[in-house]
Structure 1
Amino acid sequence: MALSSLVAADSPRLGGTSPDHVEVLAQGDIQPILVHRDTRRVVDGMHRLQAARLQGEETIPVRYLDGPASEVFLHSVAANVSHGLPLTLADRRAATRRILASHPDLSDRAIARITRLSPKTVGAVRRTSTEEVPQSKVRVGEDGRTRPLDAAQRREAARAFLAEHPGATLHETAASAGVSVSTACEVRQRMRRDEEGSPPRPAAAREVRDRDTTGGGGNPPGDGCAERGRARRAETLAKDPSLRLTESGRALLRWLNERAPDLEVGRRLMAAVPPHCAVAVADLANSYALEWQRFATALDRAVDDVTE
């Protein structure tokens, strides 16, 4: 892309570009910079842009970023804290204040992932910026889901509505209390368990029961629900700022999406497996499943280490 056609980045660096770093970059090959496709604004690479000018170049290689202009600064911060000349602590705090002003509904943890500050630090910045930061009654978490700050009160409102209207539908309950249909369903199920005086059945027990009642042929009875559950999880991950705002996160999303069709393809090909090959194919499938289980277990342990 021609250097003259680019718009300077809305940089999170309080001190601007570093002439010394530009000099260093000008001694070698210029790597592609990140540019917002719609606005042609530089998202990441102002030092490389100036180094190209110092070399006398008229064009520079670019990678394009698609998405709303309102998220360009988020991408710029995320890119600049992960590589190149690192942002200072003052830069990251200032960026946090800007993100809080433009995206007040983002949770402290979501902003912390972008700015590489701790959630406690982001929370402190939020509390000291109450006059500048618009107040929001919801938070968008790291998983991309929107949650109300008064979630406990809304659940209680749903419980009260169901107590007064035991025949109400889940949609009516959700609309009345300002909660999701799934939350309304959880509240109603909990109320029924309380009335029956029986503790909830552990998830593991439900999974064992489901496996025990699976038929011998075709898809398992809960297979459609499992597919919908996978689709919902994939959609939630795709909305997660810590994934969609980083190159490694987007690579993970692409990798997971590429794996999704394999399940349906495998089911269609099952009928083509000759009886004398069934054991070998099953062994391979079990081997792959074991690797996925190890992958999931490692992630579970990582979550436990963070939450302990």
Structure 2
Amino acid sequence: MLKGARLLSIAVAAIVIASSTTWLLTRPHAPFSADDPRLTPGDAERGRLVFAAGDCASCHASPGQPDRLKLGGDLALASPFGTFRTPNISPDREAGIGSWSVADLANALIAGVSPAKQHYYPVFPYASYTGMKLDDVRDLYAFLRTLEPVADRPQPHDLALLFRIRRFVGFWKFLFFNEGRSEGILNGDPLHDRGAYLVEVIGHCAECHSTRNIFGAIEPKTRFAGGVSSEGVGFNPNITPEGIGSWSENDLVEMLKSGKTPDHGYVGWSMADVVKNTSELPDADRVAMARYLKSLPPRPTAQP
């Protein structure tokens, strides 16, 4: 009987330890608070460029209407886990993010955590945004505050039962998320390093141009080597030198400005929408992005 009691005690202790460890590993971490001295007011005009570089309108503009600054969300994003709906990020206090502080936006972009201290699903590309500079977060916040509130409420996500438990995202973060880290390959050249920041972080290009594992995380060996399109039709191309090695730096700059490709065609599908944003950037930023893309290590095209 004593032996049985001891085994029971060990089992209970193991359960308690496992439960505590799980709780700690999956706990949302919000690194910024409203009184953080680094989160001073930003510049809305600079924030407009951050908004464009981040391709925010492509996901958050209300579908079925032409105004790219009407940020009511509700774009459907299909995935193996179910259908996600993009949120309203207009300044509306009820339906949007009008009640958010700069710290709330910083926690969302850099840590993937909501003001309610819940994990965001990584369909929101905070795995890339996590490398953002706080100056850019502050400026983006200032710009978003200048826009018109939109009272539209997006539909809820339609996910398989298991994936409705946001706490499980904590496991995903433990395995695949490196808070504050950029995947950019820097070399000390200001233009190249600016391109690394735009391509890897704000522009989050790898989120579409890479292949994902069964958990929805980017496979490192396929980074920029192509991935299934967000529309579920076709394949986003390999944008390493293995795929676009024949393109010159000027070809890439022109594509980012007008959508025109070297073979006298034009980009289509979601990339056409991306170009609407990159066309608003300064010429120097498009050159920086092209310079960085040309410097990427060649990788064989991933298989759909």
TM-score by length of 2: 0.22
> By percentage of residues, which structure has more helix?
1
Higher relative contact order (CA 8 A, sep 6+): 2
TM-score by length of 1: 0.22
Work out which of the two has the higher radius of gyration on C-alpha atoms and give 1 or 2: 1
